[in-house]
Amino acid sequence: MLLAKRRWLLGFAGVMGLMVGGAASGEMIVEEVFDDYGDVSEMGPTWSGVSTMSFVDDGLGGKALLMKGDASNESKQNTTVKEFSKSWKASAWNELVLTARIYDDGGSSKRSTIGLRSYASYPYPLFEVGRYNGVSGSDYCVRMSNTSICSSTKWYGLDGMDAKKGWHEIEARFTFDQLVVKLDYLGDGEVDGVFELELDASVWEGTNGFTQMSLGGPSNLSSASDGLCFDEVRFQSVAVPEPVVGWMMGLGGLFLLRRRG
């Protein structure tokens, strides 16, 4: 019985230690609207420079970044990358949220995405969302993996989401055990497509988390067709709502009551 009580206490201490050590707090990791750059040459060293990038009108009086396709993307010819100052993982206290506006001309056979990834060491997580032409029934697709960055990594389609000309809005929300991606055609406030994927804990445990963002061609894939325009790209850590934290505190209280009993 004494041993059982000690285990309860250790469990409670572990929960409380995790809550204190990982206290909920939000932070803007990337906020990019491209309006402050005179031309694309000024994007470095914040973003890596590639030959296929250019600025276009964002439809709101500012700039958006156009990443054209390039068949030689095996050497990252049409992908620009921004490195983070540290790695980021979803946890019990913080979610990771990616939002962006994308302009699509509605063309076919297109491969162009927003990506979150890490090259630090194996294994490393990989996430990409945007246009991909290898999934039947959908032109807008998602890729999520915790194993490697390679052409064989599985893609998932947003069912019935055909290519449409115009500015669209994308949101991807990562929790410790789930990924939810939403697509809003034409940015009218109506969610037109949703993709949900349960995440194994190994996506975050034993990996370096996300250490960089990419815009343009998907990792390790060529993309000769025209690409997408990107604007209002934001990636942030968001504190888990208080009721969830309160539930964890209540669980801690049960540990104490069990000990007293």
Mean pLDDT of 140-158: 74
The residue among 70 and 50 whose pLDDT is bigger is: 50
Q: Is the dihedral of CA 207, 211, 216, 217 positive or negative?
A: negative
CB 212 within 8 A of CB 84: yes
- pLDDT over threshold 60, residue 100: yes
Q: Answer whether 155's CB lies under 8 Å from 135's CB.
A: yes
Average pLDDT on 169-194 reads 95
Nearest C-alpha neighbor of 231 from the set 78, 61, 5, 6 = 61
Q: How confident is the model at residue 71 (pLDDT cuts 50, 70, 90)?
A: low
- What whole-number distance in Å separates Cα of residue 106 and Cα of residue 166? 8
The residue ranges of every structural domain in the chain are 1-24+242-261, 25-239
* Tens digit of each residue's pLDDT (9 = 90 or more) over 211-244: 999 999 888 776 666 789 999 999 999 999 766 5
Q: Quick check: 117 pLDDT over 80?
A: yes
pTM, 2 dp: 0.81
CA dihedral 110, 115, 120, 125 (to 10 degrees): -100
The CA distance from 219 to 115, in Å, is 8
Confidence bin at 159 (pLDDT 50/70/90): confident
Question: Is residue 233 within 8 Å of 100, Cβ to Cβ?
Answer: yes
Report the C-alpha gap between 151 and 132 in whole angstroms. 12
Query: Could you report the per-residue pLDDT of 189-200, keeping only the tens digit for each?
Result: 999 999 999 887
| Correct CATH for 25-239 of 3.40.50.1100, 2.40.50.140, 1.10.1660.10, 2.60.120.200 | 2.60.120.200
Residues sharing a CB contact under 8 Å with residue 22, sequence separation 6 or more, in sequence order: 91, 92, 93, 94
